[in-house]
A and B are shown apart, each in its own frame.
Chain A
């Protein structure tokens, strides 16, 4: 069975929101909330906990934060940014 490991720790993430995936060489731009959420995920927060923190720190209604974080998390997965293959 193939070994799948988290990629989050190895992503290059700058304060400007510039994101570089060292596995693929692809680059991305994140806005302020995307940057914050990705950092929390990288620090080990689960998406639900990241949504709670987003709601708290950015004054966003919790249902909105949950939906947005889930959408963002799914997008990270689609882009192959969460796990090694």
Chain B
């Protein structure tokens, strides 16, 4: 019944204009499994592309009610202080000011802004407003007014009397520091495994060890013993944090927000405001990027709180400065690696100890750190023994949160740098060293929750990357004249495809009158294109053009539950749920048609356009109806029902995607200036769901990784005030900084994934920092172990 397809597909037209990176043929090692895909692995244009490109009003601020009150926030100027008193009387006299809320006005239940499933691993360590402020930027008062100017003026008139307290700013000095960041009542730990000792500033600690480490190091002939340091980074999505809230006809709170996690935001608002979750509805419109920043709540609780108190719509839009200084960032980490190997390059022992700075609050602190080990060590799964230990500390800096890569980025910088240093020490080619030690399909990975590796084409990714960059022709380092050298460096990466045994995605799929489908999802398209990609999955099963599937984004009142778009899970988890639902709907359609025709359901065929019962002799079908007529009949004649299917997918496995990245840098020996002149990335994300969007994910992730490697660095003054508060001081890569990123795919086939797919969103950010660091080491003779790799460090060392 699959033999009779004849669709004109817009995706096919789009393929004609798709241009690959120069001279790079697409390499596909699983063609026999994916050859017949019609809508997947195609460069399907995003459903929202033309509306976005026409500048239509689709984002949170564009659709806020015109009469919404405006909220502005008074932020703490001190890294650690107790508020003695707040005088709001002058602020309240400003014409147009409606309310000023302080810690006196808010509920006293602590909560976390971490967008995580229950039980939330991050401690419940914050209030909407707290009499103790714990970092420069912490919220002190919420000012609500009729317009921006009144709110801004009133913010300046709120008088706060602070008792300034000593602060702990250096995360390496946090454990057992006399300054305790969280000694308040009401602090709640929801998950015992984090081993919280908050009186010692320890948010979480733990580890995992396999094999006899001492014995394995005994067998090592070379030991690389180094400490690496990655800094806090800003996710820097172009749309800053923003949301608005109002009360609806039933007196419920509706919060419209630019968030990756609408269902978790619902729980946050419910907890923080001490109202039942049934009284909260969260809606996600188009999002202007997230990269993990919006996997934490930010200002939703403020808008919801004020709207509930005032009974009027309230909107809040963070400036770029507030987004830099009063939200969340990547966790700064210090990693001590001991890597033991034999002289022939066989890695026998790895010991990784990670110290992570969660800042003033614990959002994602206990969980990000785990990935620094669990998503790095399995690359060298054949080591005789591995140990991973971690400590996550509180300090009086801005809270960290989720950022693409989520700890794996940090851990891989450390481990891959150490492996590169090992190669240099042994005088071995760093690609050969890796090919000797790589994890292979079929291996059980103890550091990866004991999962078995089903799919991995990493060896072929490395060889393809070598071929693309000209690895053997160019050599690791070469002079190019005028005091400049060009050099190569390589790194590998892995990630997960969801949070094992935690994530859930579900979808509703409906056949509508007229013969089209509505796919209702709880996963959040934040610009990545999942509204389109999930429709491609449904189209593949329902054998129809993607345009016939209407995707309905997230409204917690009507969307099926989804933990949200993070942990690289949407394609793997919600994609699998979509396939299940589409298959179930096909079965219902066949069953319904069979009932009408008085035949057995197994005799009914569906080719996407019509349902029919073929004649045994190949003649005209015995029964036949086109899809529209069939759908219309389902709801005609005073009986029947629109056919619907619901399916959910849990996280029984989290297959790792892999990537090999090679950087070619040019270093000016006189100035220390480093330029990435070429970067190649070869990705194994399993079956590529959308060939354009996957490529853009990879190119975008590599560019962010280049920023992390060379320029992006959240810095503080000695008093704890963030210095990097704008794009002038926190420098993102521009078009001039990334002249060439070339991406290719070597897809393996993941049997647990939807049509063989794994994930791609995060793995792609992980290779640039270690690859560039190694290339710079080859160029200038020393390894920079603290990011970013500035000209000063290149010239003078650290």
Determine if chain A interacts with chain B: no
A interface residues, Cβ below 8 angstroms from B: none
